[in-house]
Amino acid sequence: MSSPAAQLAHLQAELVNAYRTLQYIRWCQVSGLVIIAYDYGLTFPLELKYFWKRREGRAREHFYFLRFLFMMNRYLPIFTQILNTAGKAWFKQIIEITAILEWFAIPAGIVCYRTCALYGRNARAILALVGVYISALIATIILVVISVQGDDISSVVAPGVNLRACHSLSPQHTLFAVFIPPMTYDITMAAAALWLLLDLERRTVNSHSARTLRSMALHTVMYCCVIATADLTNMVIYRAAPSEMRHLFDGVMFALVSISCNRLLLHLRELGDRERTDFFSENDGTELSTLRGMRPPVESRPWQARAPATVGNSYGYF
């Protein structure tokens, strides 16, 4: 049996290690906040242009719903990052809800909405995509609840340590499985979007339309790579890292997910901007908007011509 002096020394070493770990987590939270703030400064003019204007005409409900998703994905991580950096203590249930919303529910909802808009009037495909989203969300919620059930806030240290509680849990090692449904979902959605985009690009004869579709495909691949890498990294960390180090990169990871999804939407809106003459022409009916169907223009007089069906318009992108 160790002496009281040895026990005291061991306790002091644990407190020092806990304090150092919390400092590392705090710096990562600050880094994530800096990344979000930097991206916010770069993209705020685009946000004003594409998401703050009042929508008129048809499909307003779709536009406003998409704007709501964008605002949630943009500002909820900023709010939670500020509180986490300040070291505010959270209830476990609030941590679970905000983590699910920021990491999967909102970004995945945006990706689902975008992919459904690509498939337009294909009701079966849209129903299947929505079913995949709901199934993945339910699976993620169940795994989160099971994995953190009965666990406590791990960052509350002993009295006398000058550091307030941080956004952190001490979950079971099975929490790594939480990232399997999101990663599977993102890869599935990316594959579905890429298949359609490449098929449309193959069938179009318009060079501007082809470049637009290739640009959308490239951004789809980039988004999928970022999100899949983040999911895979978290799976490794939550499976192999010590419990006190599992949340070290949370601040940076949540920032990357939010920024990637925001950039995906901003790029989509930028391509759909009708003021961009390099993508749109009043006289060329085959020129695509961001999600325009590949039907040829109606042969008639200019003042009698009807615009080609636009899948994106029905989903409020323009």
Alpha carbons 220 and 197: distance in angstroms, whole number = 10
Tell me the three-class secondary structure of the chain, residue by residue: CCCHHHHHHHHHHHHHHHHHHHHHHHHHHHHHHHHHHHHHHHHHHHHHHHHCCCCCCCCHHHHHHHHHHHHHHHHHHHHHHHHHHHCCCCCHHHHHHHHHHHHHHHHHHHHHHHHHHHHCCCHHHHHHHHHHHHHHHHHHHHHHHHHHCCCCCCCCCCCCCCCCCCCCCCCCHHHHHHHHHHHHHHHHHHHHHHHHHHHHHHHCCCHHHHHHHHHHHHHHHHHHHHHHHHHHHHHHHHHHCCHHHCCCCHHHHHHHHHHHHHHHHHHHHHHCCCCCCCCCCCCCCCCCCCCECCCCCCCCCHHHCCCCCEHHHHCCCC
pLDDT in tens, 59-107: 677 777 888 888 888 888 888 878 776 665 555 566 667 778 888 889 9
pLDDT in tens, 5-50: 776 776 777 777 777 777 777 888 888 888 888 988 988 988 888 8
pLDDT in tens, 237-287: 888 877 666 677 777 888 888 898 888 888 777 776 644 434 333 333 333
Domain ranges within the chain, ordered by starting residue: 25-158+177-279
| Angle between helix 106-119 and 180-203 (nearest 10) | 30
0.75 exceeded by pTM? no
**Higher per-residue pLDDT: 131 or 171:** 131
Assess whether pLDDT exceeds 70 at residue 124: yes
Give CATH for domain 25-158+177-279: 1.20.1070
Residue 56 has a pLDDT of 64
